[in-house]
Amino acid sequence: MTQEIGGFAALELHPNIVAAVVATGYEEPSAIQQQSIPIILAGHDMIGQAQTGTGKTAAFALPILHRIDPSKREPQALILAPTRELALQVATAFETYAKQMPGVTVVAVYGGAPMGPQLKAIRNGAQIVVATPGRLCDHLRRDEKVLATVNHLVLDEADEMLKLGFMDDLEVIFKAMPETRQTVLFSATLPQSIRAIAERHLRDPKHVKIQTKTQTVTAIEQAHLLVHADQKTSAVLRLLEVEEFDALIAFVRTKQATLDLASALEAKGYKAAALNGDIAQNQRERVIESLKDGRLDIVVATDVAARGLDVPRITHVFNVDMPYDPESYVHRIGRTGRAGREGRALLLVTPRERRMLQVIERVTGQKVAEVRLPNGQAVLDARIKKLTNSLAPLVADAESTHGELLDRLTADIGCTPRALAAALLRKATNGQALTLDAVEKEQPLVPTSAPRERTSSGDRPERSDRERRAPMPLGEGRARCRTALGARDGIAAKNLLGAILNEGGLAREAIGRIQVRDSFSLVELPEDGLENLLSKLKDTRVAGKQLKLRRYRED
């Protein structure tokens, strides 16, 4: 097949890279990609100002892959990201775009995972290293020449890295790399601190600035609810109990997830099927036709598999897994609300994904309201309503057609009509729980509201001076830990938060109050697994100084 000149091929990327991009479902480069890729391909340093969700990962990943030499088994490109989640996301993107480039290897380097395998992967010749600054500095302390062959550096979300206190780590990393490298910096904002980095470490950089276009989806009712990752299936099953839908598409990220969720739905009696990239075209067409004519009510799909899916009877979209960018979110929920009909879109958000929710709201210009998971009473009411609706049409002539049979059965069994009706209901409902106690035991509750509010720095909201001086009462399941680093060391709560998140492998909500005093700081951490966590953090440095967290013993 000949690739049209006008898509990614027009950017003069390697044909194998173009083929991999097209296979993911992208047809035309975004604005940031159109402007950035030629600059990076030409070897210039660059400052890109763009929000998350504009396609900036591909804007630097594609030209860097083009310039990688697969025959050289050594690190050639380093991408720095502020958090382990973003590092993993970027590494996954590189692996996707490099699928048709034999010999190209990607390694993600971040805290909360063993250092040995990471360093081994680098020494074994991974050409692309995606890392968080803190963990990469740990590797540099073990092997100061680990970055000696890197000739492409990307700082992704540089402003976020500085907010998390990684400036000192960045300086260490800059010094460990060849001065002749190409440096590309992406940041949503360009405060003076970012400009200072550019002046010191970039050579005559080209500037690219993209204004994010607001995307709106006004015909669709949008909502989100917080769940933990391992509770998504139970949350979906409970939501389906109360949502009055005609047809529904549930989006997940992986092929395996389509199979797992579709199986769980079928086991509960729903007419569901999976749709993923492994399904043959003729089978895909049968699934879509079945959804159109009512033989199927739910399809569980990946983004690529759902491309071109247009079924007017779809009333609901469930984003079971968070989309990678706001554009994907808009495309997903656009599967409903067609032809002037009302649509409803529900997004399941894990605690680590709340930041992406904020990005989606900013890009779409719409608030995605939080809803609570239906409680037991709501599920019970919905079940009884469905049962009522199914039986009501049958009652009108039931006595004339089945009255004699009723009399015979009650006589033969020796029971009252009420007892017989109850037995038939039990059979008809197939053992489904229809009392409040039974419903609540059947479906474990999932968290129904957000954890307590944090400030933008990740610390708790401001408290009075008197409250800050005295240790606050500990939350259940938490332990208070102490570090000798405090305000006089230039430490702020956000610095401690960033270091612990990245090196400890924790989610934000796992960390409680952070109290920074003049000569020390107190941090609340989970009691469960505390010793293992402190062991992970033993070599962590904050603002160039060792963290040395210890359990705080109160007198």
Whether residues 187 and 242 fall in one domain: no
Q: Which of 320, 343, 376 is the last residue of a domain?
A: 376
Whether residues 190 and 222 fall in one domain: no
Whether residues 146 and 295 fall in one domain: no
Q: How far apart are CA 335 and CA 34, in angstroms?
A: 28
Residue 164 neighbours by CB distance under 10 Å: 25
pLDDT of residue 201: 92
Helix axes 232-242, 376-395, angle to 10 degrees: 40
Tell me the two tokens of residue 381. 């009411």
Q: How far apart are CA 364 and CA 464, in angstroms?
A: 37
Whether residues 97 and 233 fall in one domain: no
pLDDT of residue 340: 60
Domain assignment present for residue 289? The answer is: yes
Domain assignment present for residue 472? The answer is: no
pLDDT of residue 404: 81
Whether residues 73 and 179 fall in one domain: yes
Distances (CA, A) of 293 to 262, 312, 340, 419: 19, 11, 20, 39
* Nearest CA among 547, 541, 543 for reference residue 525: 547
- Segment 214-268, tens digit of pLDDT: 555 667 899 999 998 888 998 998 898 888 898 999 999 888 899 999 998 998 8
Task: Pinpoint the alpha helices (H) of 209-325.
Answer: 232-242, 255-267, 281-293
Supply the range of the domain harboring residue 24.
8-209
Helix%, strand%, coil% for the chain, nearest 5: 45, 15, 40
Q: Which of 320, 347, 376 is the last residue of a domain?
A: 376
pLDDT of residue 271: 93
Whether residues 244 and 371 fall in one domain: yes
| Residue spans of the chain under pLDDT 70 | 1-6, 51-54, 212-218, 307-308, 338-340, 390, 429-435, 438-475, 554-555
Domain assignment present for residue 293? The answer is: yes
Question: E strands within 279-428?
Answer: 298-301, 314-319, 343-349, 369-370
Domain assignment present for residue 181? The answer is: yes
Whether residues 80 and 198 fall in one domain: yes
Dihedral sign for Cα atoms in the order 84, 86, 92, 94:
negative
Helix axes 56-67, 31-41, angle to 10 degrees: 30
- Split into its structural domains, the chain has a count of 3
Domain assignment present for residue 247? The answer is: yes
Domain assignment present for residue 228? The answer is: yes
Q: Which of 154, 187, 209 is the last residue of a domain?
A: 209
Domain assignment present for residue 525? The answer is: yes
Whether residues 191 and 219 fall in one domain: no
Distances (CA, A) of 375 to 116, 213, 230, 336, 442: 46, 38, 19, 26, 12
Q: How far apart are CA 413 and CA 416, in angstroms?
A: 9
